[in-house]
Amino acid sequence: MAEPVTSAKTIVVRGNAAHDGVRAVPEETAIAVVLNGSTQAVMMATPADLEDFAVGFALSEGIVAGPDEIEGLEVVEQQGGIEARLWLAAERAEAVAARRRAMAGPVGCGLCGIESLAEALRPLPPVGAGSTLSVADVDRAVNEIAAKQAMNARTRAVHAAGLFLPERGVVLVREDVGRHNALDKLAGAAARGGVDGSGGAVVITSRVSVEMVQKCAMAGVPVLIAVSAPTAHALRLAEAAGITLVAIARGDGFEIFTHPERIGRGEQTHVA
């Protein structure tokens, strides 16, 4: 199987001086998610944690309701890419066949191949009440995920998604060149490991676009923390799904955009 990180020769220029160097860079590979022998989606992704990716993708796309509906899983390297093969229970396979769609897109696109506006803007399941997080919890989540990005520490070129649980901190982290791929990997890892995120938060190292909110809602996680800003439509989706969206969180403060009741702020004074 391809290594997720390789090296590239460079010429390093600093001021008027230059010298030969070597830079670690992440691999980007075509990953096909194959359901019962038929390709469902092809995404460009980092070739690591692909079992988690396949399960998380199936969950976030509503292909399966839980990992118990997946009867088999294997990752097979092919010429030109990798297949993540899932075998679904008979009833679920029939349901998937009825709503078949094929998707192929670059890492920056989370909705490639959607066949209708109704699919792109599908209603999201409302999340549960969750837990109240403190200001310190939010700062801790951002600081801990930064410290646990092993691949990004080597390459400075991948996104991460982590699961933060009160009293425990960031318990899972997955990385990928695509921000939505990293979140799918996280969802799959949590589901496969039996980790319940409904009382915690997802923390991501990217902007908050529509698909990031959709994936959190499908995973049942009520708080989404991001280091960058959200889009306007992501805010509307988060509001409708009951998700607390915290963004521009960089360890020294943050902004709460939706459902602020889950973030305990003590007796802080609001200035008009």
Residues marked as catalytic: 109
The angle formed by the CA atoms of residues 143, 272 and 142, to the nearest 5 degrees, is 5
What single letter denotes the amino acid at residue 63? I
Closest residue by Cα to residue 36 from 24, 53, 54: 54
H or E element in which residue 120 lies: helix 117-120
Q: Collapsing DSSP states into helix, strand and coil, what is residue 96?
A: helix
Residues contacting residue 246 through CB under 8 Å, at least 6 positions apart:
138, 201, 223, 224, 225, 226, 254, 255, 256, 257, 263
* DSSP assignments along 65-94, one per residue: SSGGGEEEEEEEEETTEEEEEEEE-HHHHH
Specify which residues 256 forms β-bridges with: 246
Quickly count: other Cβ atoms within 10 Å of residue 227's Cβ: 21
